[in-house]
Chains A and B, each alone.
Chain A
Amino acid sequence: MRYIEPHGHMVSRTTDDYQDMVTAGCAAVCEPAFWAGFDRSTVHGFHDYFCQLTDFEPKRAARYGLPHFSWLCINPKESEDVKLAEEVIGIIPGFLQRSNVLGIGEIGLNKNSRNEMKVLEMHVDLAARHEQLILVHTPHLEDKLKGTRLILDVIRSDSRIQPERVLIDHVEEHTVRLVLDRGHWGGMTLYPVSKCSPARAVDILDVCGGDRLWMNSACDWGESVPLAIPRTALEMRRRGWTAEAVDRVIYQNPIRFLSQCPKFKLAAESA
């Protein structure tokens, strides 16, 4: 089996996880910028974090032969402070040419506030000006439906954004159609309690088709499973999916979306 982990917060994980992922067939990992569990107070904290994502973490992954890519932004959970967000967004262009940066993400909303909306619009503008792919976080639990609707409207209001260059992550049964019907890609996050279980993710694939969907573990410092994708692949096989059909979802689909960024390249033997 081979797969891409398109959303993993590896700065929160141990090297044991890298070993397990590569052993299970992981061919590349992509790491969006996120909330560290506490609010960073200065732009310097984000500068150091972006260095970690674009320099230190790729080297750590390379020790296990795993290509590492990243996305940059200030996460929606830290977007209530618009002034700090402006400062952070101001330093991102200085990192966009780094070799492992795929685009702007994971941007979006958390509590669907006006300030979060302002910062989302600033990120979308940044992506448009620099012709970057966009990875979007949708809110948790009871806030997801509203947040997804608001996010979709913000993106549609910027005519420079091509829908197929945007992936809306953490979709569930009540939001997946909203996302796909706008021409975007959708991401299903496999979490033990919230978001999607493996069985539900395969249900969504059965119902919606697997053309513009990917799966991710979004493993971080909370309850999450770095091997969630291969475990879901096992679920697909138990339900009669062929190896080729599984491969299309967990390997080829992420490559189709991510290859819209010319920096996303895998070694010839796994491509």
Chain B
Amino acid sequence: MTRQQVLDLYFMDARCKLIDLAAFLDRVDRGTGEADFRLSALQDSLKALSGAEPLRAKTVLLTLSDPTLEPAAKALGKGAVGAWPGAN
């Protein structure tokens, strides 16, 4: 596909998601109390969007991932929250 074709097909969708993300961050700002690690993980991930290589999706996913290799001693619950809270 040409870049023009990609823009024709996906620009409005990307625009919508970008505004949704901006509105989400505004909503968090208007909220009260402390945020948790998910907000800083999201903010770190946003830096990948200004990268020059077409690896932004992979970089965002890596930023949000548990980078360790040691199995957990025990499964504490079943769910995932979308961002790694860190070693602590």
Contact = CB atoms under 8 A, between A and B. Distances in A.
Given A150-B69, A239-B9, A145 B61 contact: yes
Interface residues of A, number: 30
A173 B63 CA distance: 12
Interface in A78-134: 80, 110-117
B80 A141 contact: yes
A117 B71 contact: yes
A77 B1 CA distance: 41
B80 A113 contact: no
B9 A238 contact: yes
B84 to A, nearest CB: 4
B57 A173 contact: yes
Contacts of B80: 139-143
A111 B72 contact: yes
A163 B69 CA distance: 22
A143 B85 CA distance: 11
A13 B77 CA distance: 26
The 7 closest A-B pairs by CB, nearest first: A111-B75, A145-B65, A141-B80, A174-B61, A113-B75, A140-B80, A173-B58
B19 interface: no
A116 B1 CA distance: 43
Contacts of B72: 111-114
Nearest to B55: A173
Nearest to A144: B65
Interface of B: 1, 5, 9-10, 13, 55, 57-58, 61-62, 64-69, 71-84
B78 A110 contact: yes
A142 B82 contact: yes
Given A141-B81, A203-B57, A80 B75 contact: yes
B78 A77 contact: yes
Interface of A: 35, 77, 80, 110-117, 139-146, 149-150, 172-174, 199-200, 203, 238-240
Given A141-B64, A146-B67, A174-B62, A116 B75 contact: yes
B71 to A, nearest CB: 5
A114 B71 contact: yes
Contacts of A174: 58, 61-62, 65
B19 to A, nearest CB: 18
B63 to A, nearest CB: 10
A145 B76 contact: no
Given A112-B71, A142-B80, A174-B61, A199 B10 contact: yes
Contacts of B73: 113-114
A145 B9 contact: no
Given A142-B64, A146-B66, 13 more contacts: A110-B78, A111-B76, A112-B75, A113-B71, A113-B75, A114-B74, A141-B81, A142-B84, A143-B66, A174-B58, A200-B57, A239-B9, A240-B1
A172 B68 CA distance: 18
A142 B74 contact: no
14 contacts: A111-B76, A112-B75, A113-B71, A113-B75, A139-B80, A140-B80, A141-B80, A141-B83, A142-B66, A142-B84, A143-B65, A145-B66, A150-B71, A238-B9
A142 B65 contact: yes
Question: Max chain A CB contacts within 10 Å: which of B69, B76, B78, B82?
Answer: B78
A83 B46 CA distance: 44
